[in-house]
Structure formats: structure tokens, C-alpha cells
Amino acid sequence: MALECERMFVSAQSILHVDMDAFFASVEQARRPELRGRPVIVGGPPGTRSVVATASYEARAFGVRTAMPTARAQQLCPQAVFLRGDLAAYAAVHERLVGLFRLFTDRVQVVSIDEAYLDVSGCRRLFGPPRAIACRIQELVYDREGITCSVGIGSGKLLARLASELARPAGLGELTDADVCGRLRELPVRDLLGVGAVTEARLAALGITTVALLQDAALPLLSAAFGSGAYALKQLAFGRSLASPVRSRRRLPKSLGKEVTFDEDTADGDRLRATLLRLVDHAMTRLRAKGLAARTVTLKLRYSTFHTITRRTTLPHATGATQPVYGAAVGLLDHVALDGRLVRLLGVSLGDLHARSFQLTLDDVWKETSLDEAVDRIRARYGTASIGRAGAALVSSALLPARREAG
Amino acid sequence: MKFTCDREALVDKLLVLSRGVSTRGTLPVLSGILLQARDGRLEMCSTDLELSMKAVVPAEIERPGDVVVPARLFSDIVRNLPVAGVTVELGQGDEASGSVVVTGGSARFELNAWTATDFPQTSSFDLTGSIAVSRVPFLATLAKVARAASRDDNRPILTGVLVSVEPTGLRMVATDSYRLAVKQTTLSDGPQAEVEAIVPVKALNEVARLASGIESESIAVVISENQAVFGLGDLVIATRLIDGQFPNYRQLLPESFEHVVELDREMFLAVVRRVGLLAQKNAPLRLRFVPPTEDQPAQLVVRAITQDIGQARETLDIEYSGEELEIGFNHLYLVDGIESVDEEKLALQLITPLRPGLISGIRDGDPGTDFLYLIMPIRLSG
């Protein structure tokens, strides 16, 4: 009975999953007509160690895939146009698209720059059935931005996402509850949202490769391999996700931090402070990008012995400004008696996060805010490494390999 | 040293001085009170090295001398003695051994004490050459600005109040960098002197607390290079001054504002307090000024949202003809500013949501200039 009720409840939902087709490449083709119909690859230049961010469908025909090294992409598709990418432009399109989705419902969950879930359950009387809304969205996206999107309709996020996956590019798909026992069964387990490479491999070890096999698998068999996650996994096979419904309002993260492991352990105070400035600077840029302000600052320090200490302080006000946070962090660092001990790792974490409504001040912090904003704008356009604080430059990038930074 | 005095008079002053002792510091002697018996009176001092207080009690001196007694215990003992007369005596013969005997009736206490030479004499409490400042205007002026001073020791200068005394009047300025309060008071009998200093707000609050109970109509003030001394009848308070350059408040005051909104002080205060209940955890109080439409007058919509707790909203009819504007403030700062206005009507002057707002009382139809409360907004997330 409980299950029956749950199903009725779930069926009442109409979720759309809107996925932009080859988003970055499409935006480039839309604003540069000469690129239309040609293979376009957005990513770093082929000579470097960069990877493909997006490949247009013309390029995909040659086997080019997202996250493939651009060098490999060039081998596969030498005639492709390689573009560095213009994140600011893509973000602007994204903003407009989200605004467009919000015309239909306020329950929009933005998953990433090129996909979103829309809960249109309550919109039938205003805009018609989900399929009509999906068509209208595809038309509007094409009219306004000149790019195409795939829309999946389902009674839950998982089915909607699967439906859009099956419909791309530029398609419209729907997976009904009837499909759960039909079409869905034909698919490989990997197509299920929530089944990644690891789960796929562990299922394969049990001989489970398709959704049908997962649907029919005995729960005890799954429990042996997946423990308490077995039930959730089996629910996935029926297109039911235990995950939350469409969340229109993002929850605030609890904290946000950045840390770095030194290539060589150090006890040099100047170097620690300069590194700290860099960490704070970058963490604050991320914080501001999320529209947040922080009130607590936590310093983390790991000695070469792996003994780890943390020190925390609370600011008078939540702030999004770099300077007061750095001041607090340095204060914490200066209070730690290193006594010549070598430091292996240094980290800073910002807590007690608030939506970015931060108290402005009458003096220097006000100027500082303008400075911070300018830095963020430059970074959004030219990348994080394009601008930094002079103090942080004491530590050259060579000393701090970016690969080892935990973000 | 040996003296006898009245228990009540002694308890009275001990209570005052006990507030001035320092119990958390590294110098144990600072948790004591210095007793100096001479010339027919008992002088008592306390200090936390920044704020020092002196009180005088009439006493019958049998043998002059000095000693430092633990403040808390000594006060408790004196208060609990069975008779009105208290006798305090330092062990005879060896004045340095530091044992004080307190007797009243048949009760006898012997207390370990510090020698007077251990006690840091931070002030001479010298009131020579003092200027007399009228007590009531002084306290009223201070009350308007004290709350705007900072409590954050990271910026010492802002924990002070800029006090200026001139023949024409008295001016005090305080800011914690989130708001700035300026109060100018005209003195009919102003002192023939001009002094200016940054006085720690903590000391001024102590002066205000003690001065409200005195009979004298004026406060004696001496401001020297590094300290200020306030004479309040038989109490003297001395404080070190804060060194440095106080922010130039004239530069911080905008030259002009875009909008002037007239508000009923009581009504606005009540709305801000009410809606402010849902502006917790530093959440902003949002003030939205809406110009009139065909069917409704101009409105001020006050809103607050606290994440995970709830939200509140209230509307006030106002006179407003500018463009729609929304600005956020810390509701506590707003309350401080509104409360400091004496007039029935106040003016809230604004420029943009990211520029400071100004609160002042409305007198004869215009925003007054004797009290100015500049308040920085909270940038709203959109």
C-alpha cells in the first residue's frame, strides 16, 4: 500500500530535463555563421595537454568526445576548427536560458551550465501538457539563441534525464511508467543516472549489464555487493530516485575551502603567508562567484609528521571581501608556534556562509570590494591565473603545482 | 596603617571601584584595590591599566599608610560586618609583610595583601586646570553616539569616541565603520577652552554610569597628552587616550542625497523592530521604497528573510516620488539610529542601494544637522 501511494505521488509529477546540444560549440556556431555545418571543437589548443570541452555534432561524427585530449581529437578530425572557448559568452547565454525556463515555472534546478530540470507539474492549466511545454521551450531556445536542445519528459528527474539522453540531439523524448517495464529494460545499466563506472563494473561482476537484469535481480544478491545502497540501486532500475525532487533554491554550502600540499615541506613564514594569501584569494573568488559571504575562517596546517591542527576565528560580520579574511587567516597563522617544524600542507576554509548580502563599510573595505569585483571579472574572462595579488606572487606557480591543489 | 570609617560609605565606593579592577590580566595586583590612608581620609584606587578610578571616603586615621587588598573579598567582608564601624589595620612592625586585619564588632578577618609599591600608579588623578562641562548635555550627547563605537579591538581607534569641547559647544563622533554617529550640542555656558581627544568608549560609558548619580551640575574634565581625567564629585575617573588619527567623518558624509523620506519615528521604529525579528544571523532588513500608483499611495515595504527560519513583511504609507529603490540594512544598526533621534519625525536620506543612508531628526520641516547617523547598507543578493 505504501508503495502504491508512492507511485501515485510520483506519477503526479511532470519533470522536464532540458539538455543543450553541444552547448559551447553550438553557441559558437550560432554567433559565427561561417562555422555552421563544420566540425567545431571547444577546448585548449591541440599542442597542449588540454582536453575537449565540447565537440559539435559534426565533430562527434569523427569520434571526437568530450574530455578527450585535444591532440587526439586533432588526429581524429584534422579539419576541425579549434576554439579556446569564451566562458563569459556561454555564461551569458546560460543566464538567458534559465530566465526563459523560469517563464514556465519557478521550480527550475540548474544542474550545470548546459542542463536543467524543470518541474512543470503545476503548469498544465497555464501552458498545457508537458509535451507542449517541451516543444515551446525548444522553439524559444532556437528562436532566441539559435541553438538546439533536447528535452526529456518523465515522472521523475531520473526518467526525464534518461528520456533526453535517448532523444538527443534536438529531440523530444518521454519515458512513462509503462516504459519502465518496456523500453527502459533494454538499456545498459550505465545509462541510469547514478550508475557510474565503478558501480557498472561491480554490477557486471554480478552478471548484471542491463536495466532488465537489474530490475529482476534479487535484493539479497545486490545487498551482498552494495550493502545498504542496494535498495536505492534497484529503485534506479525502475526509474525511481530516492534523491530529492526538483530543487529550485540551492541550499547554501556549509563551507568552502582551498588547501595545498607543498612540493617540499617548509618552515618559511614568508612563504607560508604568501601561500595563504593565494589560497584565501582564490577561495574568496569562488565564494563571491557563488554569491556568498563568510563569517568564520579556519586555518588548517599539517606538519611533515602528518600531525594536523586547525585554528578558527569569527569575523565581526560575514564578508565577501578578501582583505579582512586574509587578515584573520594570517592572524591565525601567526599565532601558531611553528618552532621550526616543517609544514606539509596549508589550507583555509570559510564557514558560516551567508547569501551574499554583506555589510558594507565606510572605509577601506568599500574600496576593497570594488577591487575584488574587478579581479573576479578579469578571472571570469581570462582565467584564475590571469591576475593575482602581488604578495602571493612570492610563491611562483612552479613551487605550487596546480595538480596537487585540492579545490 | 590603621583607620576606622563608616561601613556604608565604604561599601558604596567599593562597589564602584570593584567594576574597575582587572581579574583576567597577568598582573594579580590589578585585581586589588589600593587603600591610601592619610590626612583624615581614605583614598581608594583601582585600575586595569587603561581605566583607573579613585574614590574618597572620610576616615579616622590612627596611623597613615598604604596597602592593596583583594577587591572582591574585601568588599564582601566589609559588607557583611555586623556593625557600622570598620577598622582596617596593617600588621604592625613589619609593614611589608602584607597581612591586613579587618575588624567590626567582634568579627575579625586577617587577609593576605599586596604592598602598595606593587600597584601601578597609572594616573595622578590630577584635576588642576580642569574645564567644567555641563553634566546633562554631556551625558545626552554621549548617549547618542556611544552605541556606534566599535567593540572590535582589532581597530583600536574605532573603540574610541572623538570628543571635542569648544566654547560654543560639545561634539562627539563615533563609528564602527558600519555606521557613524555625530552629535553636536550647543552649550550656553561652554568652557573657555578648546580640547579634542579620542576617548575609549568603555571609559565614557563608565563616566556616564557614575555621573548620572551625582549631584554636581557639571563634570570636571582634564585632557592631557595621553590621558583624560573626569571629576565626578568624590569620584575621579582617568583613562588613557587612544593614539592615532580618527576617520575624517566630514569626508564620509555624502554631499547630497537623491531621496529624502520622512518617517514617523515611533511607527518606523516599531516596524523595524517587528520585522527585524526575522532578520537573524546578520540577515538584512530590506527596505523597498515604492512610488505611488493610481490605486495606492507610495509605500515603504519592510521585509526580512532568515534562511531556514522564516520571513516577515510590513508596509508603511509614505511620501515618495522617486524611482523604486530597495536597500538593505542591519536592523540593529537601524534601531540604534532611530532611537537616537529625539524628534517625532525623522528623515531617512538615501542615494543608491550601495551608498550610505543618513538618519536625522526633522525640525521645522527640515532634516536637522545636530545629530547625524550615517549607516552603510548591506549589499543585497538580488
> What residues of A are in contact with residue B354 (Cβ under 8 Å)?
360
Is the full-model pTM beyond 0.80? Answer: no
Q: Higher confidence at residue B199 or residue A322?
A: B199
Return the pLDDT at B23. 78
Query: Residue A212 domain-assigned?
Result: yes
Given the DSSP bridges, would you call strands B99-104 and B107-112 parallel, antiparallel or unpaired?
antiparallel
Q: Which residues of A touch B374 (CB under 8 A)?
A: 362
Chain A residues touching residue B247 (CB < 8 angstroms)? 362-363
Instruction: Kindly write down the DSSP assignment for every residue of B58-78, as one continuous string.
Output: EEEEEE-EEEEEEHHHHHHHH
Q: Is the peptide bond before A69 cis (omega within 30 degrees of 0)?
A: no
- Within-domain flag for A68: yes
Which cell is B337 given? 539610529
Judgement on whether residues A93 and A228 belong to the same structural domain of the protein = no
Number of domains, chain A: 3
> Which residue in chain B is spatially nearest to A369 when comparing CA positions?
B379
Answer positive or negative: Cα dihedral of A282, A284, A288, A292. Answer: positive
Q: What is the pLDDT of residues A221-237, one digit of tens each?
A: 888 888 777 888 888 88
Please give the C-alpha separations between residue A371 and each of A322, A364, B81, B356, in angstroms, as whole numbers: 9, 11, 66, 19
CA angle B253, B258, B263 (to 5 degrees): 90
* B380 and A CB contact within 8 Å: yes
Residue A264 lies in a domain: yes
pLDDT of A370 reads 59
Q: Does the pLDDT value for residue A397 go beyond 50?
A: no
Q: What is the pLDDT at residue B163?
A: 95
Confidence of residue A10 (pLDDT cuts 50, 70, 90): very low
**Strands A172-175 and A149-154: what pairing?**
parallel
Alpha-carbon span A16 to A119, nearest angstrom: 6
Alpha-carbon distance A248 to nearest alpha carbon in chain B (angstroms): 15
Rounded to 5 degrees, φ, ψ at B126 are: -80, 120
Q: Is A330 helix (H, G, I), strand (E, B) or coil?
A: helix
Greatest mean pLDDT range, A204-218, A361-375, B36-50? B36-50
Output the DSSP codes for B223-249.
E-SSEEEEEETTEEEEEEPPPSPPP-H
Contact B283/A316, CB-based, under 8 Å? Answer: no
Best of A357, A361, A365 to mutate (most B CBs within 10 Å, chain B): A357
B251 near A CB under 8 A? no
What is the per-residue pLDDT across A40-50, written as a single tens digit (0 to 9) for each? 999 877 777 77
Residue A155 lies in a domain: yes
Bridge partners of A74, per DSSP, are none
User: What is the Cα–Cα distance from A61 to B258, expressed in whole angstroms?
Assistant: 60
Do B379 and A360 count as a contact with CB atoms less than 8 A apart?
Answer: yes
The minimal CB distance from A362 to the residues B252, B282, B283 is found for B252
Per DSSP, helices labelled H in B119-193 are 135-145
Q: Does residue A163 come out as left (phi exceeding 0), alpha (psi in the -120 to 50 range) or beta? A: alpha
Same domain, A34 and A171: yes
pLDDT of A399: 39
Contacts of A327 in chain B (CB under 8 A): 154
Give me the residues paired with residue B182 across strands: B173, B372
Amino acid at A343: V
Average pLDDT of chain A? 81
> Which residue range(s) make up the domain with A200?
182-237
Task: Answer yes or no: is A310 within a domain.
Answer: yes
Total beta-carbon pairs less than 8 A apart between chain A and chain B? 55
Calculate how close chain A gets to B357, using CA atoms only, in Å: 11
- Is residue A11 very low, low, confident or very high in pLDDT (cuts 50, 70, 90)? very low
User: Of the residues A142, A158, A181, which one is the last residue of a structural domain?
Assistant: A181
Task: Tell me the residues of chain B between 302 and 321 that have a Cβ less than 8 Å away from chain A.
Answer: 307
Of A252, A316, A355, the CB nearest to B152: A316
Q: Are residues A354 and A229 in the same domain?
A: no
Residue type, B356: P
Residues A191 and A175 in one domain: no
* Domain co-membership, A388 together with A280: yes
Residue B381: closest CA among A353, A270, A337, A345: A353
Backbone angles phi and psi of B65, in degrees to 5: 165, 170
Residue in chain B lying closest to A317 (CA): B282
d(CA B107, CA B370): 58
**B379 to chain A: which residues are within 8 Å by CB?**
356-358, 360
In sign, the C-alpha dihedral spanning A179, A180, A181, A184 is positive
Interchain CB distance below 8 Å, B282 and A317: yes
Q: Calculate how close chain B gets to A254, using CA atoms only, in Å.
A: 13
* A30 within 8 A of A145, measured Cβ to Cβ: yes
Please tell me whether residue A295 adopts helix, strand or coil conformation: strand
Let me know whether A151 and A268 are in one domain: no
Rounded Cα distance, A165 and A181, in Å: 18
In order of B136, B191, B339, B351, the CA distances from B371 in angstroms are: 16, 21, 12, 19
Output the nine-digit C-alpha cell for B89: 589595620
Q: Do A354 and B247 touch (CB under 8 A)?
A: no
pLDDT reading at A53 higher than 70 = yes
Best interface-test mutation with B: which of A359, A367, A373 has the largest number of B CBs within 10 A?
A359
- Residues counted in chain B: 382
- Based on the fold, state whether residues A312 and A229 are members of the same structural domain: no
DSSP character at residue A188: B
Residues in CB range of A342: below 8 A, 6 or more apart: A265, A266, A267, A303, A304
Q: How far apart are CA A348 and CA B155, in angstroms?
A: 23
Report how far residue A222's alpha carbon sits from residue A220's, in angstroms, rounded to the nearest whole number.
Answer: 5
CA nearest neighbour of A283 among A263, A307, A257: A257
| CATH code for position A83 | 3.30.70.270
Which chain B residues contact residue A318 at CB under 8 A? 282
Q: Is there a contact between B228 and B197 (Cβ–Cβ < 8 Å)?
A: yes
Chain A residues at the B interface, defined by Cβ less than 8 Å, are 252, 291, 295, 316-318, 327, 354-363, 365-366
Boundary of a domain, candidates A161, A181, A201: A181
Query: Which B residues 149-168 touch A at CB under 8 Å?
Result: 152, 154
- Whether A248 contacts A109, CB under 8 Å: yes
Is position A122 within any domain? yes
- Note whether B379 contacts A291, CB cutoff 8 Å: no
B216 touches chain A (CB under 8 A): no
Write the CATH number for A190: 1.10.150.20
Among A362, A368, A372, A376, most B C-beta atoms within 10 A, so best to mutate, is: A362
Quick: pLDDT tens for A103-141: 888 888 888 888 999 988 877 778 888 898 999 899 989
Residues A277 and A363 in one domain: yes
Nearest residue of A to residue B354 by CA position? Answer: A360
> Is residue A404 predicted with pLDDT exceeding 50?
no
d(CA A272, CA A255): 22
Measure in Å the smallest separation between the Cα of A393 and chain B Cα atoms. Answer: 27
In a domain, A250, yes or no: no
Instruction: Look at residue A338 and tell me if it is in a domain.
Output: yes
Give the cell for residue B45: 584606587
Domain identity same for A281 and A349: yes
Angle at B63 between CA B57 and CA B67, to 5 degrees: 65
Instruction: Tell me how far apart the alpha carbons of residues B1 and A277 are, in angstroms, rounded to a whole number.
Output: 61
Do A189 and A177 reside in the same domain of the chain? no
Parallel/antiparallel/unpaired status of strands B2-6 and B85-90: antiparallel
Of the partner residues A356, A359, A366, the one whose CB lies closest to the CB of residue B381: A356
Confidence of residue A242 (pLDDT cuts 50, 70, 90): low
% residues pLDDT > 70 (chain A): 86
**A116 to chain B, closest Cα gap in Å:** 21
Using DSSP's 3-state secondary structure scheme, residue A147 falls into coil
Task: Say yes or no for a CB contact (<8 Å) between B330 and A359.
Answer: yes
The answer on A122 and A27 residing in a single domain is yes
In this prediction, residue A366 carries a pLDDT of 47
- Dist. CA A278–CA A268, nearest whole Å: 16
Whether residues A14 and A154 fall in one domain: yes
Residue B182, chain A, CB below 8 Å: the answer is: no
Rounded average pLDDT over A23-45: 88
Q: Considering only alpha carbons, which residue of chain A is nearest residue B327? A: A357
Q: Which CATH number is A351's domain given?
A: 3.30.1490.100
What does the alpha-carbon distance between residue A143 and residue B310 come to, in Å, rounded to a whole number?
A: 40
For every residue of B294-338, DSSP letters joined together read SSS--EEEEEEEETTTEEEEEEEE----S--EEEEE-HHHHHHHH
Q: Answer whether A357 sits within 8 Å of B379, measured CB to CB.
A: yes
Placement of cell 519515458 in the chain: A175
Which residues of B fall within a CB distance of 8 Å from A361? 177-178, 376
CA distance B19 to chain A (A): 26
Strands A15-20 vs A149-154: parallel, antiparallel or unpaired: antiparallel
The nearest CA of chain A is from the CA of B378 a distance in Å of 4
pLDDT at A391: 66
B178–A365 CB contact, under 8 Å: no
Q: How far is A288 from chain B (nearest CA, A)?
A: 11
Q: What is the pLDDT along chain B (382 residues), one digit of tens a residue?
A: 999 999 999 999 999 999 888 877 778 899 999 999 999 999 999 999 899 999 999 999 999 999 999 999 999 999 999 999 999 998 765 555 678 999 999 999 999 999 998 899 888 899 988 899 999 999 999 999 999 999 887 778 999 999 999 888 999 999 998 999 999 999 887 788 888 999 999 999 999 999 987 888 899 999 988 899 999 988 999 999 999 889 888 888 888 899 999 999 999 999 999 999 999 877 899 999 999 999 899 999 999 988 778 899 999 999 999 999 999 999 999 999 999 999 999 999 999 998 899 999 999 889 989 999 999 998 886 5
Please tell me whether residue A68 adopts helix, strand or coil conformation.
coil
CA distance B1 to A270: 58
Does B178 contact A359 at a Cβ distance shorter than 8 Å?
yes
A373 assigned to active site: no
Q: A244 to each of A16, A145, B381, how far by Cα in Å?
A: 15, 31, 25
Burial B254-289 (b: 16+ CB within 10 A, else e): eeebebbbebebeebbebbeebbebbeebbbbbbbb
Suggest the residue from B151, B159, B176, B178 to mutate for an interface test with chain A (most A CBs closer than 10 A).
B178
- Please check whether residue B376 touches A, CB under 8 A: yes
Nearest to B34 by CA among B104, B101, B120: B120
Catalytic residue among A115, A200, A368, A405: A115
Mutate to test the interface with A, among B175, B182, B282, B330 (most CBs of A within 10 A): B282
pLDDT at A283 over 50: yes
Residue B381 in contact with partner chain A when CB distance is under 8 A: yes
Question: Around Cβ B310, how many Cβ atoms within 10 Å?
Answer: 11
